[in-house]
Amino acid sequence: MDMNKYNKQKNFFSIVHTIFFFTWIILKEIYLDKEYFFYIVLNIYVIFSGISFLVILKLNDKLGEKKFTSIMLVIVILASILSFL
C-alpha cells in the first residue's frame, strides 16, 4: 500500500470519528435522560463504521469487484435499518 492511500484512509477515519464524537456530544445533551440514547449512538456508530469500511474497500480496490462492494453496502444499510427497529 502506498503512502497516499494510507494517508487518505487515515484522514477519512479521523473525520468520521470526529463527526461521531460531536454527534455523541449533541445527542447526549438532547437525550441525556432517555434510556434509548445508547442505542441511537450505537446505530450512528454502526453506520459510520460501515461507511468507513466501504470507503476503505473502495480505496484499496484489491478485489476489483464492484459486486462485492455493492453487496457490502446493502448489508450495512439493512443492518442499520434493522437496528433501529
Total domain count, the chain: 1
3-state SS, 6-57, equals: HHHHHHHHHHHHHHHHHHHHHHHHHCCCCCCHHHHHHHHHHHHHHHHHHHHH
Calculate Rg over the CA atoms of the chain: 15
Q: Check: CB of residue 60 under 8 Å from CB of residue 52.
A: no
What pLDDT, on the 0 to 100 scale, is given for residue 18?
72
Tell me the pTM: 0.39
What would the pLDDT profile of 15-72 be if each residue is shown by its tens digit?
Answer: 776 777 777 777 767 766 666 766 777 777 777 777 777 666 666 665 555 666 666 6
Host domain of residue 49: 3-84
